[in-house]
A and B are shown apart, each in its own frame.
Chain A
Amino acid sequence: MQEHKNTAVESEPAGFPWKQVIGLILSLALTFLALWIAVGLSLPVHVTLTLIVGLAVIQALIQLFMFMHVLEGTDTSHQILGLIFGIFVAFAMVAGTLWIMYFTL
C-alpha cells in the first residue's frame, strides 16, 4: 500500500513559464502607463483618477490570472470563497473609507 505522502506542493512541470513572463511585462507596462498618465499628461484630476483606477482593476485581474492560479486547483469552492471574501474586504475598505472621509471632501 502506498502511504499518504502528505506534501502540499507537487514539483512543477518543466517548461518555460510564458504565462508569468507575459504577466510581468503587462504589469510593468500598466504601471508605467499609470505613472505617465498621472505625471506626463496634465488631464483634469477626476479624469486622471478614473483612468488610473481602471488600470488598477486590469492590473488586479492580471495578477489573479497570471500569478495567483485562480483557474487552477482541484477544489473550486476554495477559489470562490477566497474571491468572495477578498471582494467583501475590498468593498468594506473602499466604501467605508469614502463614507467615513466624506465630510472632509
Chain B
Amino acid sequence: MENIKTFLSHFFVTGDPMIYGADASIALVSVAIVFVLTYFKKWKWLWREWLTTVDHKRIGIMYIIAALLMLFRGGVDALMMRTQLALPNMHFLNSEHYNQVFTTHGTIMIIFVAMPFIFGLMNIAVPLQIGARDVAFPFLNAVSFWLFFFGAMLFNLSFVIGGSPDAGWSSYAPYAGAELNPGVGQNYYLIGVQISGIGSLATGINFLVTIAKMRAPGMTLFKMPLFTWSILITSIIVIFAFPAFTVALALMTIDRLFGAHFFTIASGGSPMLWANLFWFWGHPEVYIVLLPVFGIFSEVIATFAHKALFGYVVMIWSMIAISVLSFLTWLHHFFTMGNTAPVNAFFSLSTMLIAIPTGVKIFNWLFTLNKGRIEFTTPMLWALAFIPNFTVGGVTGVMLAMAPADYQYHNSDFLVAHFHSTLIAGTVFGVFCGLHYWWPKMFGYLLNEKLGKWSFWIFMISYNICFMPMYFLGLMGMTRRMYTYPAGLGWGPINFIITIGAFGMGLGFTIMAANIIWSAIHGKRDTTGDPWDGRTLEWSTSSPAPEYNFAHIPVVSTRDAFEAMKEEERKGVKRRQLPFEPIHMPNNSGIPFIMSAFFFVAGFGFVFEWYWMGIPGLIGIVICLLARSFVYNDHHHIPTDEIERTERAAGRFS
C-alpha cells in the first residue's frame, strides 16, 4: 500500500494547485468529448472521415486545429511567465515551476505550433496550387500527421504525469544530462520531440516529391506560385537539417537511458557538441518556419494589390540563397562559448549576409504594393503589418550578429525581444494571414472581416507593447529565464508594460477564436470558389475543394495561371466542356493512426524506462509496418456520375 502511494505521488505531479486545476480540466474535457461523440453517435464518423483520412485537405485542417490548441497551451505558459514577472518579487510561480513553464513554452511554440501551422497550410494549399489531386505519398502524409500529433500529446502529458522538462527549449548539456537533471522531464522532451520529428522529415520528403513530380502540365518550375516555391525550398531544408537534430536527440537519449557519455565531460564526451548539433538544426529551423510565410505574404500581397508579384525570379533566388546560407550560420547562437576569433568572425559575416536576400525580398514586396490597387482585407493587414515589424526583428538580428557586441546582448532580454520579433511578426503574423486567406478554401465560408480586423489591431498593437520595451529591458541588464527580480533596478515599470502587452495578445487571439466560431454559424458562404479575386489555381476549384480537387487537371501556360484563365474568359474565349473520366484516388487507412499510437506507447515506456512497455510498443510499430506491406488494394476510382453530381452541386456543371 505504502509502495503504491509513493509510486503515485511520483507518477502524478502533485503539490501545485494550478496542476490540480489542469488535472481537473483535462478530465472534464475528455469526458465532455467522449459524451458528445457518443450522444451524437459520431464515433464512426470520426474514425471514417477524419482519423483514417489520407486527404491532404483534411490532414491540413487537423494540423491547424492541433496547432491552434497548442498555441493556446503555449500562450497560457507565456501569460503565466508574464504574470510572474509583472512586478518585482512576485510569488506566483516558484523557480522550478518557472523553469518548466519557459521550457514548455519554447518547445511547444516552435515544434508544436509553428511547424504544424506551416505544415497545415502547405497541406491545404500546395496540391491545389500546382493542380494536383493529392500529395505524392498520401499514406505517408497521414503517418506524418499522426506522429506529430502523438509526439505532441506525449510531450504535453509531462506536466501532469512525471514532471515537465526544465532545461530550456534548447535543452543544453550538461544541465539536461542524467547527472544534473534526474527524473523523467528531459526524457519527455527527447522522445516526444523525436517522434514528431520523424513526421516532419517525412513531410519534407513528401512535399519535395509532390512539387517535383505532380505539377499540372505546362507548369514549369518558374511558373509555380511563390508559396509553392517557398515550400519546395523549405522541404529541402527540412530534409537536410532534421537529421542533425534526430541524431542529437538520439545521442542524448542514449546518454540518459543507457549511461553513455556523448555530452558529458566525464569519459571524453563534450557538452558543447550538443549546442553545435542542436543549432546545426536549430538555425535552418528558423528558415523552415519563415520561408513558408514569406511565400504566404507574396501570395497575399500580390492578390490584394491586384498586381503580379514584383521581382518573381529575384524572390526565388533570394530564397535559394537563404537556404544555402542558413546552413552556414549556426554558431551565432553560441558566440560566447569561447570559440577562436576567426570562427566567430566567419559566422558573424555569414549571418549578416542573410540580411541581403531578406532585404531584397522586403523591397520586392514594397514594389509590388507600389501603384497597386490595394484592398485592406484582414489577410492583407497581417501582411502589411509584417513588413515593418519583421524588419525590426531583422535589424536587431544584424546587431546580434556582430560577435563582439553579442557578448553584451547574449542571453539578455534583448535577444528574447529579437527572436520574438522575427517569430511573431514573421511566422505568427504569416500563419494568421494564411489562415484568413485560405479559410474559405478549407471550409467554404469567410471569416468575419470586422472581428478579424479587431483581432488584428489588438494583437498587433499589443505585440508592440509587449516586445518593443523588452529590447530596452535587455539593454538595462535583465537576462532571460530569470524567474524574479528585486525592486529598485528600474525594471518593474517596463516589466509591467510588457505584461499588459502579453495579455493584449491573449485578447487578440481570443477574438480570433471567437471569430472562427461566429463565422462558422453566420459567416458569408463562398459560392464562387474565388472570394478574393485570386491569381493562382487553388481559387479555380470550388470552396471547399471537392475530394478530388479538380474534375479536370488544369493546363497551365503562364505564371498566375488562374488570373490568365479569367483574363481569357473576359476576352470571351469559351472553354470546351470535356467529358469526365474516373479519378484515381488513394484509400483511407487506419494504420497511420494505430502505428503512431504504438509510437506513443513505446515513447511513454522509454520515458519512464519501463522496458516491459517500451519494447511491446516497438513491436507494435513493426507489426503495423508489416501489415502495410501486405496491403495490395490501396486505391479506388471515383466514378464519373459521382463527379458529375459533385460538380453539379457546386454549380460548376450544367
Do chains A and B stick together as partners? yes
Judge whether B236 and A85 touch: CB under 8 Å: yes
The answer to whether the Cβ of B324 comes within 8 Å of any Cβ in the partner chain is: yes
Chain A contact patch, size range: 20 to 34
The answer to whether the Cβ of A101 comes within 8 Å of any Cβ in the partner chain is: yes
Judge whether B213 and A8 touch: CB under 8 Å: yes
Judge whether A103 and B338 touch: CB under 8 Å: yes
The answer to whether the Cβ of A80 comes within 8 Å of any Cβ in the partner chain is: no
Closest to B549 in A: A6
Q: With A3-B553, A4-B216, A78-B212 as given contacts, are A101 and B236 in contact (CB-CB < 8 Å)?
A: no
Judge whether B339 and A8 touch: CB under 8 Å: no
Q: Which residues of A contact B132 (CB under 8 A)?
A: 6
Judge whether B212 and A5 touch: CB under 8 Å: no
Q: Bound complex: CA of A88 vs CA of B270, how far in Å?
A: 25
- In the complex, what's the smallest C-beta–C-beta distance from A11 to chain B, in angstroms? 9
- In the complex, what's the smallest C-beta–C-beta distance from A36 to chain B, in angstroms? 18
Q: Bound complex: CA of A78 vs CA of B213, how far in Å?
A: 11
The answer to whether the Cβ of A57 comes within 8 Å of any Cβ in the partner chain is: no
Closest to B244 in A: A93
19 contacts between A and B (CB under 8 A): A3-B581, A4-B217, A5-B553, A6-B131, A6-B214, A6-B553, A8-B136, A85-B236, A86-B240, A89-B240, A92-B327, A93-B244, A93-B327, A96-B328, A96-B331, A97-B276, A99-B343, A100-B276, A104-B270
- In the complex, what's the smallest C-beta–C-beta distance from B343 to chain A, in angstroms? 6
Q: Please encode chain B, from 314 to 341, with 1 for each CB lying within 8 Å of some chain A CB and 0 for all others.
A: 0000000000100110110000001110
Q: Please encode chain A, from 1 to 26, with 1 for each CB lying within 8 Å of some chain B CB and 0 for all others.
A: 00111111100000000000000000
Q: Bound complex: CA of A33 vs CA of B137, how far in Å?
A: 35
Interface residues of B (CB under 8 A from A): 131-133, 136-137, 209-210, 212-214, 216-217, 236, 240, 244, 270, 272-273, 276, 280, 324, 327-328, 330-331, 338-340, 343, 552-553, 555, 578, 581, 584
Please name 4 further chain A to chain B contacts, defined as beta carbons within 8 Å, in addition to the given A5-B553, A101-B270, A101-B276, sorted by A numbering: A92-B327, A100-B331, A100-B339, A103-B340
Q: Which residues of B contact A85 (CB under 8 A)?
A: 236, 240
**Segment 65-102 of A: residues with Cβ below 8 Å from B:** 78, 85-86, 88-89, 92-93, 96-97, 99-102
Q: Bound complex: CA of A4 vs CA of B214, how far in Å?
A: 10
Q: Which residues of B contact A101 (CB under 8 A)?
A: 270, 272-273, 276
Q: Which residues of A contact B327 (CB under 8 A)?
A: 88-89, 92-93
What 3 A-B pairs have minimum CB-CB distances, sorted nearest first?
A8-B136, A8-B213, A89-B240
Q: Bound complex: CA of A15 vs CA of B136, how far in Å?
A: 23
Q: Bound complex: CA of A99 vs CA of B331, how far in Å?
A: 11
Q: Bound complex: CA of A89 vs CA of B581, how far in Å?
A: 45
Contact of A7 among B331, B338, B584 (CB under 8 A): B584
Q: Bound complex: CA of A9 vs CA of B581, how far in Å?
A: 19
Interface centre among A4, A5, A6, A97 (most CB of B within 10 A): A6
Q: Which residues of B contact A104 (CB under 8 A)?
A: 270, 272
Judge whether A3 and B244 touch: CB under 8 Å: no
Q: Bound complex: CA of A101 vs CA of B217, how far in Å?
A: 50
Contact of B328 among A6, A9, A92 (CB under 8 A): A92
**Segment 33-67 of A: residues with Cβ below 8 Å from B:** none
Judge whether A4 and B137 touch: CB under 8 Å: no
Q: Bound complex: CA of A7 vs CA of B136, how far in Å?
A: 7
Q: Bound complex: CA of A86 vs CA of B324, how far in Å?
A: 11
- In the complex, what's the smallest C-beta–C-beta distance from B223 to chain A, in angstroms? 16
Interface centre among B240, B270, B280, B552 (most CB of A within 10 A): B240
Q: Which residues of A contact B214 (CB under 8 A)?
A: 6-8
Q: Which residues of A contact B273 (CB under 8 A)?
A: 97, 101
Q: Bound complex: CA of A96 vs CA of B132, how far in Å?
A: 40
Q: Which residues of A contact B236 (CB under 8 A)?
A: 85
Closest to B342 in A: A99
Q: Bound complex: CA of A88 vs CA of B326, how far in Å?
A: 12
- In the complex, what's the smallest C-beta–C-beta distance from A9 to chain B, in angstroms? 7
- In the complex, what's the smallest C-beta–C-beta distance from A25 to chain B, in angstroms? 18
Judge whether A3 and B552 touch: CB under 8 Å: yes
- In the complex, what's the smallest C-beta–C-beta distance from B593 to chain A, in angstroms? 22
